[in-house]
């Protein structure tokens, strides 16, 4: 269990319970937005932000093991 996974899940529950993510669609959108913030990213040479897919999968595994 990692601190990052615990913090991420805390924010997910906050979205669900206090920020209006009261439908499946809103909750999924909130989770994807949070994931974009919590996953390692890199700036490409053309200034685009690139998310690390492996880090996203690693976070998913960390959360699964909570």
- Report pLDDT digits (tens) over 48-64: 999 999 999 999 999 98
pLDDT in tens, 4-61: 899 999 999 999 999 999 999 999 999 999 998 889 999 999 999 999 999 999 999 9
Closest residue by Cα to residue 41 from 54, 30, 28: 54
C-beta separation of 30 from 24 below 8 A: no
The 3-state DSSP class for residue 66 equals: coil
């Amino acid at each position: 269990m990692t601190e990052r996974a615990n913090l991420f899940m805390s924010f997910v529950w906050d979205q669900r319970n206090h920020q209006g993510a009261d439908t499946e669609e809103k909750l999924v959108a909130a989770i994807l937005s949070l994931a974009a913030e919590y996953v390692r990213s890199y700036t490409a040479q053309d200034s685009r932000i690139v998310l690390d897919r492996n880090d996203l999968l690693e976070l998913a595994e960390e959360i699964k093991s909570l």
